[in-house]
Each structure stands twice: as structure tokens, then as C-alpha cells.
């Protein structure tokens, strides 16, 4: 999701089940500062669940939102490659242009399916995605998109450069001059979380990517993949904060159904010059959580009211937690494992995959809530919680 400062555009699936058939459709929901849904718009045609992708991203350029989502599998029998459709959405929640196919996303990458990532530099959007069309083997690609049309105005260019098929989970930030793109890389030696700076002209400034986390630990030699790190990037006006799932001292327990395993949460600041300011590749600089026996899912971050705010899901049953990191890289001592963002839930209910976006006076958090039904399927709701931290 992304905010215009007052309202927030949330992009999600709508799932329909009828006579045993499942169909999906992408929706954009315009949410007000008090959490009310002000408008909703269908972004795609209703399609079979086996042909629609699961990943999306959205950003705001000062006039419109740009939504990029997976649609129409290019390899439906394999479920590996998906077209990336781009649409411009107005601040009132109406489609301005699109859908336009701008790229091809590849699900056969590190840590499971990877969402594309967007950032806006004042003139155009940069889309980062693991896919085809920018190198062999498939690499992490970059693509610039025109904010007036929602159409790519450059060819995809190569960001990663290793002879391996396992990379993904990009996160993008912009510092006013250059972009920072972080992603998980299994083809490098050592594998882990890396980042490069990219100019607004698409020039890679770092010939050797910055290694933020050397992901060698128990979980990488067990059932889990090397690099399910799910990084997030936020910029505070001076430095970037890169937050990620840290598997180096965790158990190898891994749940393929939810693409997450035992992990703590770590972070590090990175300067606009591409310098790692906290810790080292083998030692986390900012320890956000310390409990090592919790299954932990994706972490999301946003810079709100002078601090980086983080939200993630963990525990059994899965629920939401939050914490904050100051611009100097400190975490409140009273929150060694964050604080619960939700009241206790029933054991059969799971909350996961949170996202956070800043507004003028606070932040908006959304998440996926899973409740078992009387059948073998599951019901998915997307609650919205609005609060000033």
C-alpha cells in the first residue's frame, strides 16, 4: 500500500468460491485516515486461481498512485512466470490508465515468490523485480515507468550479476539523489542480503554489491532456503534503514506453506554513499528482536513521525508485533521483542503479512487474517487498523 499523506491505497486479492471453483481478482481500496474504506476499484478481470499471480506493489508520485501486480501466468502449467500489469490510480480511487504489461516476473527465485518493488524519484518510478528480459540466467531487473502514462519508458536493465537462478525479494528506497535496492542473493559467495545504489538514469554505482548480512547459519543448512530474508527499506532523510529476517542463529524449522521459518529481526543503517553504518555482514548492527524460537514472517517498515516503525508477524498462533528504530539506530530497551499490535486472538486464527504506510499524522497497518472454516478451505480477511504511533 501507499499513502498520499491523507488517504492510503491498499491493493489486495478478492477471492470468490463457488461450487468448488476459486476465482481471484485484484482490487484497490482507498482508505481514509480513520480507517474507513472510501472507494474500491477492480483492477483486473476475474480469473482462475491457477493463472493469477500473488504479488503486487504500489507507490504514490504526488498526483496518482502506480499499481503493479502479477496477472495472467505466462506459464500456467508451471506457475512460474507472470506478467506484470501496471495501472495509474487517481487520488479518488479511479483508474486513470492501464493495465499495461511492463515486465515478466519469475517465481523461481530465492525464498519463494517475490513481490516487485517500487519507488518514485520525482520524475519517474523505478520498478525492481526478479524476472526475465534483463540477463541470463534470470536476474534482478530494473525498469523505469512514466508517471503520466503508467507505461515503461525504458527497457529492463540488469541489477544483479551472478551466475545463479536464486535471487529475489527486492526492496527499494530513494534518498533524493539515488536509489538503494536491497535483495536476497543465493548465487553470491557468501549468500545473503546485498544492496546496490542506482542512479535515476539506471546506472549501477556499486560494481560489488554491499553485503549487509552473510546468511550462513543453521536454518540455511536445514529444510529452509538460503535466503528467506524479506528485506524492507525506509529512508529517514539522512540514512536508509534496511530491516530483514535474520536466520543466522535460528532453528532450521521451516514452513513451506507460509514461506517463513524461525528467525529474529535485525536491521542496519546504510548511508547514501553506500556505507554499512551498523554491525558487519556477520554481526547484526541493530537487534530488533532476540527470541530465537519463533516462526517469523515478513517485516514491513515506514518512516513516521521521526522514527522507523516496523511491523511483522510471529508466534503461535501468528499475530502482529511492532517496534521502532531511531535515526541513530537504537531500539527501545523495553521492547526486546517488540510489542503486540493486536489483542490476543483465538488459537485457530492467524494474522500475517502486515504492511505499514505513513500518513500526515500517523501510520496505517493492514494484514492478512486467516480463519479456518468448516471445510478444507480457509477464509481470508484483510482488516485495517489506523493509529498514530
The arithmetic mean of pLDDT across residues 328-355, rounded, is: 84
**What pLDDT band is residue 203 in, cutting at 50, 70 and 90?**
very high
* 62/289 Cα distance (integer angstroms): 35
Q: What is the average per-residue pLDDT within 153-177?
A: 87
Residue 323 burial class via C-beta count within 10 angstroms: exposed 0-12, middle 13-18, buried 19 and up: buried
DSSP string, 131-145: ESSSSSS-EEEEEEE
Give me the count of residues in the chain: 389
**Model confidence pLDDT, tens digit, residues 100-151:** 999 888 766 555 567 899 999 999 999 999 887 787 777 899 999 999 999 9
| Burial tier of 21 (Cβ tally within 10 Å: 0-12, 13-18, 19+) | exposed
Give which of 22, 126, 5, 4 is closest to 65, Cα–Cα. Answer: 4
Q: What is the DSSP string of 48-108?
A: ETTTS---EEEEE-SSEEEEEEEEEESSTTTT-EEEEEEEEEETTS-EEEEEEEEEEEESS
Q: Please give the DSSP secondary-structure letter assigned to residue 7.
A: -
Mean pLDDT of the chain: 83
Q: What is the mean pLDDT of the segment spanning 236-254?
A: 82
Percent of the chain whose pLDDT exceeds 90: 48
Predicted confidence (pLDDT) at residue 93 exceeds the cutoff of 80: yes
Distance CA 308, CA 326 (A): 6
Are the C-beta atoms of residues 9 and 67 closer than 8 Å to each other? yes
Going along the chain from its start, the domains and CATH numbers come out as 44-387 (2.120.10)
**Taking 80 as the threshold, does the pLDDT of residue 72 lie above it?**
no
Mean pLDDT along residues 353-366: 85
How far apart CA 232 and CA 115 sit, in angstroms, is 12
Q: Convert 347-383 to b/e letters by CB count within 10 Å (16 or more is b).
A: eeebbbbbbbbbbeeebbbbbbbbeeeeeeeeeeebe
Residue 236: pLDDT over 90: yes
30-65 pLDDT per residue, tens: 999 888 899 999 998 766 555 667 789 999 999 999
Report yes or no on whether pTM surpasses 0.75: yes
| Residue 189 confidence (pLDDT) above 80 | no
Q: In the predicted model, what is the mean pLDDT of residues 221-225?
A: 44
d(Cα 115, Cα 108) in Å, to the nearest integer? 12
Q: Which three cell numbers stand for residue 369?
A: 487474517
User: Which band of pLDDT confidence, cut at 50, 70 and 90, is reported for residue 247?
Assistant: confident
- Please tell me the predicted confidence (pLDDT) of residue 118: 96
DSSP 8-state class, residue 44 = S
Amino acid at each position: 500500500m501507499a499513502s498520499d499523506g491523507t488517504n492510503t491505497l491498499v491493493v489486495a486479492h478478492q477471492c470468490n468460491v463457488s461450487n468448488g471453483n476459486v476465482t481471484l481478482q485484484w482490487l484497490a481500496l482507498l482508505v481514509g485516515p480513520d480507517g474507513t474504506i472510501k472507494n474500491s476499484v477492480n483492477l483486473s478481470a476475474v480469473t482462475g486461481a491457477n493463472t493469477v499471480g500473488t504479488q503486487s506493489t504500489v507507490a504514490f508520485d504526488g498526483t496518482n498512485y502506480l499499481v503493479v501486480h502479477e496477472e495472467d501466468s505466462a506459464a500456467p502449467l508451471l506457475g512460474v512466470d507472470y506478467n506484470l500489469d501496471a495501472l495509474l490510480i487517481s487520488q479518488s480511487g479511479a483508474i486513470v490508465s492501464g493495465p499495461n504489461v511492463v515486465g515478466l516476473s519469475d517465481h523461481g527465485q530465492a525464498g519463494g515468490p517475490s513481490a516487485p518493488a517500487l519507488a518514485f524519484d520525482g520524475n519517474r518510478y523505478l520498478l525492481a523485480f526478479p524476472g526475465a528480459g534483463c540477463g541470463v540466467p534470470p536476474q534482478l531487473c530494473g525498469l523505469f515507468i512514466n508517471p503520466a502514462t503508467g507505461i515503461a519508458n525504458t527497457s529492463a536493465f540488469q541489477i544483479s550479476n551472478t551466475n545463479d537462478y536464486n535471487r529475489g525479494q527486492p526492496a527499494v528506497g530513494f534518498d533524493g539523489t539515488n536509489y538503494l535496492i536491497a535483495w536476497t542473493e543465493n548465487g553470491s559467495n557468501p549468500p545473503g542480503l546485498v544492496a546496490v545504489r542506482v542512479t535515476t538514469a539506471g546506472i549501477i554505482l556499486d560494481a560489488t554489491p554491499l553485503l549487509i548480512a552473510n546468511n550462513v547459519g543453521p536454518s540455511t543448512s536445514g529444510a529452509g532456503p538460503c535466503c528467506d530474508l524479506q528485506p524492507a527499506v525506509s529512508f529517514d532523510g539522512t540514512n536508509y534503514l534496511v530491516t530483514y529476517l535474520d536466520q543466522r542463529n535460528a532453528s532450521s524449522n521451516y514452513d513451506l506453506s507460509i514461506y517463513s521459518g524461525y528467525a529474529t529481526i535485525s536491521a542496519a543503517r546504510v548511508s547514501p554513499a553506500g556505507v554499512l553504518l551498523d554491525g558487519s555482514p556477520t554481526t547484526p548492527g541493530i537487534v530488533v528482536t532476540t527470541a530465537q524460537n519463533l516462526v517469523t514472517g515478513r517485516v514491513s517498515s515506514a518512516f513516521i513521525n521521526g522514527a522507523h516503525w516496523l511491523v511483522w508477524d510471529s508466534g503461535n498462533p501468528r499475530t502482529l508485533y511492532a517496534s521502532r528504530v531511531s535515526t541513530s539506530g537504537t531500539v527501545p530497551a523495553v521492547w526486546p521483542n517488540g510489542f503486540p499490535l493486536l489483542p490476543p486472538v483465538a488459537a485457530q486464527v492467524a494474522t500475517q503479512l502486515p504492511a505499514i504506510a505513513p500518513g500526515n499524522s500517523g501510520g496505517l497497518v493492514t494484514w492478512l487474517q486467516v480463519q479456518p472454516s468448516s471445510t478444507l478451505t480457509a477464509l481470508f480477511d484483510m482488516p485495517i487498523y489506523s493509529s498514530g504511533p
